[in-house]
Amino acid sequence: MVVNKVKTSRIKNSKEEFVIGKIVCVGRNYAEHVKELGNELPDKPVLFLKPASAAIYTGESIIHPDYGNELHHEVELVLLIGKTVKKASLEKAEEAIAGYGGGLDMTLRDVQNELKKKGEPWTLAKCFDTSAVLSDFILKENYSLTLEEEISLTVNGQVKQKEKLNKMISTPAELVSYISSVMTLEKGDLIFTGTPSGVGRVQRGDKLVGNIENVGELNCSII
Ligand code: ZN
């Protein structure tokens, strides 16, 4: 794999450049997924970060880290931020979303469970190289998201995750508004909006295909 210092999101039908800034991830944003992991519904979205260096594109391979055994797939809607916003109202937050894509928030679940027990940050479980897989993005000017779209993930052709985006607890605009109350969001930043239920373990050799209806598809193998 060629490692570029600067990574940009790939945009359909556009030459506009979006250099990937920070990747903000939301946890526990679908009730069924909160239940399946035995977690409690949060009052506020749970937030964590991934470095831009963790990003790979559809068609590339996820490298299974050797310090964990339970690598889980989490398919998610990803928001592409188009302008700087801070303490944004819902309206301003909506305006700051430039487009949408699909993503995989790859997670070492066994490592995360150990870190949770110890009260330590999730960095080792969430931020390793290739842990953020990205589809191509579609700009809002080319597609308006209705939240009626289906998000899905198959492993070796078997459906593992399948849900409507309208099952999200916080909407895209609500997430952007909330995150911008904590940290300034800038053009090129990405927001992973949480995963629906059905997360599970993948192993080396598995082939993953994620899809968000009308938005984007991604495929990758585990090596
Ligand atoms: Zn996630």
**Structure confidence by residue, pLDDT tens digits, 144-155:** 999 999 999 999
Residues near ion ligand 1 (Cβ under 5 Å) = 74, 105, 195
Distance 21 CA to ligand 1 centre (A): 18
pLDDT tier at 38 (50, 70, 90 boundaries)? confident
Distance 29 CA to ligand 1 centre (A): 9
Distance 10 CA to ligand 1 centre (A): 21
pLDDT over 80 (residue 4):
no
Distance 84 CA to ligand 1 centre (A): 24
pLDDT over 80 (residue 10):
yes
Beta strand pairing status for 23-27 and 46-50?
Answer: antiparallel
> What is the average pLDDT score of the chain?
96
Distance 118 CA to ligand 1 centre (A): 20
State what percent of residues in the chain have pLDDT above 70.
98
pTM: 0.95
Q: How far is CA 223 from the centre of its chain?
A: 20
Distance 135 CA to ligand 1 centre (A): 15
pLDDT over 80 (residue 169):
yes
Distance 195 CA to ligand 1 centre (A): 5
Q: How far is CA 121 from the centre of its chain?
A: 18
Distance 33 CA to ligand 1 centre (A): 10
Domain spans, the chain: 16-222
pLDDT over 60 (residue 210):
yes
**CATH of segment(s) 16-222:** 3.90.850.10
CA distances from 20 to 7, 128, 189, 213 (A): 6, 16, 6, 23
pLDDT, tens only, 56-104: 999 999 999 999 999 999 999 999 999 999 999 999 999 999 999 999 9
pLDDT tier at 160 (50, 70, 90 boundaries)? very high
